[in-house]
Structure 1
Amino acid sequence: MKILAAYAPLLVIGSLSACADDARQGASSAIEKKEKQSMFRKINEYISVSPQITLEDVTAAKAEGVTLIVNNRPDGEDPAAPQSADIEAAAKAAGIEYLAIPITHSGFSAPQVDAMITALEGAKGKTLAYCRSGTRSTLLWSLAQAKKGVDGDEIARLAGNAGYDITPIRAMVDALSAGAQ
């Protein structure tokens, strides 16, 4: 009995250590789950943006109610990433509409902004737009909203809530918004 009593503190410490390990694993799983969930950054109830998606992410998008995927990344920008045809095939297999409006690093054009407006107005539910980091998708969405007359401060607020800064195009957003009113 005295031997067992001598080891009792070690058993308690070992049990506490196991609990701490379980808690760390639980916290780690929760963080991984949150990181996976946060890949799609919600701008508003109609659109989310994302860095490059995988074929598996198409299934996750479907589960979140996405009915349209807009690809703002040109093919070949990263040959290792799924290309437009790959994502389009996965989207169609999942019953999701797909549209490519590739934006290169040379900037945005009026036809691209108009295509985004048309896509968003024709969407039958939630839209997911993606590019390398989500920035070009956010900026294109911002320009489309501005052209429809949405206030630049509201656009900046929504983009900022999703973690994106529209400062590089803020003058264009304000000009388009003012021109639409």
Structure 2
Amino acid sequence: MFKHFLILWAFMAGPAMADEAASYFNDARLVSDHVWIGPQPDAEDFSEFAAEQVGLVLNTRTAGEMDQLEFDQANVAQTLGLSYELLEIGQDHPYSPAKLAAFNDILEAHRGEKVVLHCRSGNRASQLYAAWLIKYQNKTPAEALKAIHSDESELTDAMKTLLGQ
């Protein structure tokens, strides 16, 4: 009898465990009660964002990088009723205090909404978010680095550039 129970449990739990393993949020880092930073999402991840009631997908890749994808991220987001913003950081779009101010404006426009912030790997997005915490949320550098789950003990050059240092 117990053997049959285990087989039934494995059969029923298998699909749920597979869905959990495929979740974008398993690869993303929760950096506040409503902001996740992660790598480039797949087209399928946007359905998960909609199901989780994400209000904004904020992309820090460049338009040139996005042209290399096999799907139009902005269109997929719009189709699912998600807000989408592209704040380019990368080749020909350097870190700057103006980028940080634009980031703040975007977050202010979406205050209280769940946000997925991403780039290719999550690194650029993390740098931007940490600098924002320091400038606009009055966090210390140590608090900002801890929030983005960084192993760094000092601000990176990118963060310093965003902060105008």
TM-score category, normalised to shorter length: 0.7 to 0.9
Name 1:142's counterpart in structure 2.
130
Name 2:100's counterpart in structure 1.
113
Say how many residue pairs are matched.
159
Secondary structure class of the residue paired with 1:128:
strand
Name 1:13's counterpart in structure 2.
none
Name 2:85's counterpart in structure 1.
99
- Seen in structure 2, the aligned counterparts of structure 1 residues 65 and 40 have a Cα distance that, compared at 3 Å, is farther
TM-score (norm 1): 0.69
Cα drift, residue 77 of structure 1:
2.7
Equivalent of residue 64 in structure 1, options 52, 55, 63: 52
- Structure 1: how far apart are the matches of 2:154 and 2:65? 22
- Pairs within 5 Å for 1:11-160: 23=10, 30=17, 33-36=20-23, 37-77=25-65, 79-82=67-70, 86-104=72-90, 107-124=94-111, 125-148=113-136, 149-160=138-149
- Seen in structure 2, the aligned counterparts of structure 1 residues 95 and 29 have a Cα distance that, compared at 3 Å, is closer
What is the CA deviation profile of residues 63-94 of structure 1, one whole-angstrom value per residue up to 9, with x for unaligned ones? Answer: 112111111011333654256xx111111222
Secondary structure class of the residue paired with 1:53:
coil
Secondary structure class of the residue paired with 2:65:
coil
Uncovered stretches (5+) of structure 2, i.e. residues with no partner? none
Q: RMSD across aligned C-alpha pairs, in angstroms?
A: 3.4
Secondary structure class of the residue paired with 1:90:
helix
- Seen in structure 2, the aligned counterparts of structure 1 residues 82 and 40 have a Cα distance that, compared at 3 Å, is farther
Cα drift, residue 53 of structure 1:
1.2
- Structure 2: how far apart are the matches of 1:102 and 1:157? 25
User: Of the two, which has the highest radius of gyration?
Assistant: 1
- Structure 1: how far apart are the matches of 2:81 and 2:16? 30
Name 1:12's counterpart in structure 2.
none
- Seen in structure 2, the aligned counterparts of structure 1 residues 27 and 72 have a Cα distance that, compared at 3 Å, is same
Contact 2:39 2:118 in 1 (8 A): yes
- Seen in structure 2, the aligned counterparts of structure 1 residues 62 and 25 have a Cα distance that, compared at 3 Å, is closer
Cα drift, residue 169 of structure 1:
6.8
Uncovered stretches (5+) of structure 1, i.e. residues with no partner? 1-15
Contact 1:139 1:169 in 2 (8 A): no
Runs of 4+ in 1 over 4 A off after TM superposition: 22-29, 171-177
Cα drift, residue 146 of structure 1:
1.2
Name 1:167's counterpart in structure 2.
152
